[in-house]
Structure 1
Amino acid sequence: MLITTKYYDVPTKLDPNGSPVRIFVISPSVQNYPQAKFPGVIVFSEIYQVTGPVERFAGQIASHGYVVACPSVYHEFEGPEAIPYDVEGTDRGNKYKIEKRVEAYDEDATLATDLLMSLENCTGRIGATGMCLGGHLAFRAAFDPRVLASVCFFATDIHSATLGRGKNDDTLVRVRNGDLAGKGELVMIFGKQDTHVPRIGRDLIRTTLDDANVTASFLEVQAQHAFIRDEHSKGRWDAALTRSLFTFMMEVFERTMGRDLGPRGGSSGAPEHIC
């Protein structure tokens, strides 16, 4: 399926400079069907904003029949351009990550969801995904009842509660308080060799989700951090594993928001005994 790309500069309320958040939107394009509608997916980027690898990842989702929104979340500090994958860029991205307020990250997610739901070519059924910082933001997007599924790749700072200004986020606190109860499906994907999220941190996230009775899948694979990044990956990119997990993600999206299932009910209506 062919895709087109445009962007929207959306006003924010929490940016002290009054700067809008630029949201890149990648849409499927089906010839001779100008009124076609598709589900929406928010793709949250790593600390480098919307880089080539992030745009290509988002484009692949769009080509499967989804309208994809990619917010540039560092609008408080600089323009929407991608931050380089080098030492200076990494330091800059990590600096912004803990200077931005957590509630401002949440506002960006809300605005991206609002935008998708306002688009004529979107059905209003929304999912989210992201990597690294973006994995954490996709996790927090799941608190919004409009987000029906979140697939989080190697989400950082959840286990340590160190996202945002003051390095004291409330992500797992909200899970314990039941803020994900009855919400969409959550998928957590981590590499076992990921030094950013050690085993004790992964165990904490998994246990917290289980104890809160969240509808969640937890995958641990033989990979390092950023294994899905196809550029400047420091030798960590695993194309075959990425393809496999991308397929898994698309199954989740297709099942949860890829089609309109009607109102949710309490019974499947299936017979009690099936051989």
Structure 2
Amino acid sequence: MITQNEFVQLPTPTGLMQAQVFRPAIEGKFPCIIFYSEIFQITAPIARSANILAGLGFVVVVPEVFHELNPMGTVLGYDDAGKDKGNNDKWAKPLEGHDSDTQAIVNFAAAQDYCTGNVGAMGVCIGGHLAFRAALNPSIKAAFCLYPTDIHSDTLPSAQGNNSFERTQDIAGEVYVVFGKQDPHVPLEGRQKLYQHFQTVGLNYIWQEVNAQHAFMRDEGERYDPALALEMYLKAQQFFQRTLA
């Protein structure tokens, strides 16, 4: 279906956060997906991914994940400078700041007459982690997490006992995780650690490993796998149609 999009500015405890909202350009109410980006924020590939999801029948809200640390509208390049800045931002923002951002988007979705009130989360790279993290919020019914980083290694700042790995047992919704077997950011040992932990705490999850490198969803660069990306969009559509019905 045809889509439309706009930028909105949402109040959060850590400052005004800009987000881009993609949604079907027809009348009706649709489930909402919070789509968390990589460290580079709302790049062209991220916007295209969000637009695809909107065309599949969802309201998709893409926040600027490091809004406190950059001028509004900042988009980092897929180069060494962008990578360095994005990683520094990743290590500077505590997970509690992402938690309050998620709540701000939940509040926004609840106030829109084109949303059903059911909200899920999806993301890539650190965004996959943030989607997983968002599932701690009781309003988030499901999370689709593509190659989520830093959960197994606990490398994102948080208060004592509040990291995402330790909080896994507090997730009430369903989680779908996808990892690339050739992804150096979450190696075999890290994946095994997560799998065993999910089993131990009784997480309601779907686990999938694919033959792919990190960032295989990003439609720029040599790691992009278009056939696999298409498969993931369709799996996400089916997952959210079931969990956000």
Note whether the superposition's TM-score is higher than 0.5.
yes
2:55 aligned residue: 63
CA distance in 2, matches of 1:246, 1:25: 18
8 Å contact from structure 2 (residues 185, 214) kept in 1: yes
The structure-2 alpha-carbon separation of the partners of 1:168 and 1:54, relative to structure 1 and needing over 3 Å to count, comes to: farther
> Once the two structures are aligned, what percentage of the paired residues are identical?
38
- The structure 2 residue matched to 1:245, chosen from 232, 236, 243, is 232
Identify unmatched segments of 5+ residues in structure 2.
none
2:38 aligned residue: 46
The structure-2 alpha-carbon separation of the partners of 1:226 and 1:82, relative to structure 1 and needing over 3 Å to count, comes to: same
1:2-151 to 2 correspondences below 5 Å? 2-13=2-13, 15=14, 19-30=15-26, 33=27, 36-79=28-71, 80-151=73-144
**How far does the alpha carbon of each residue in 1:77-121 deviate from its partner, in whole angstroms, 9 at most, with x for none?**
112321111110100000000001210011111111211121110
The structure-2 alpha-carbon separation of the partners of 1:152 and 1:218, relative to structure 1 and needing over 3 Å to count, comes to: same
Q: TM (normalized to structure 2)? A: 0.96
Q: Which moved more, 1:187-196 or 1:143-152?
A: 143-152
Kindly tell me the number of residue pairs found equivalent between the two proteins. 244
CA distance in 1, matches of 2:7, 2:160: 31
Deviation at 1:164, TM superposition (A): 2.9
8 Å contact from structure 1 (residues 128, 150) kept in 2: yes
SS at match of 1:65: coil
1:194 aligns with 2:183: yes
Q: CA RMSD in A?
A: 1.5
CA distance in 1, matches of 2:191, 2:139: 26
8 Å contact from structure 1 (residues 193, 223) kept in 2: yes
Letter in 2 for 1:225: H
Letter in 2 for 1:251: Q
Letter in 1 for 2:8: Y
Structure with a larger share of its residues in helix: 2
- The structure 1 residue matched to 2:208, chosen from 195, 205, 219, is 219
Q: Which one has a bigger Cα radius of gyration?
A: 1
Letter in 2 for 1:25: V
Q: TM (normalized to structure 1)? A: 0.86
Identify unmatched segments of 5+ residues in structure 1.
260-275
CA distance in 1, matches of 2:68, 2:162: 19
CA distance in 1, matches of 2:74, 2:55: 23
SS at match of 1:25: strand
1:264 aligned residue: none
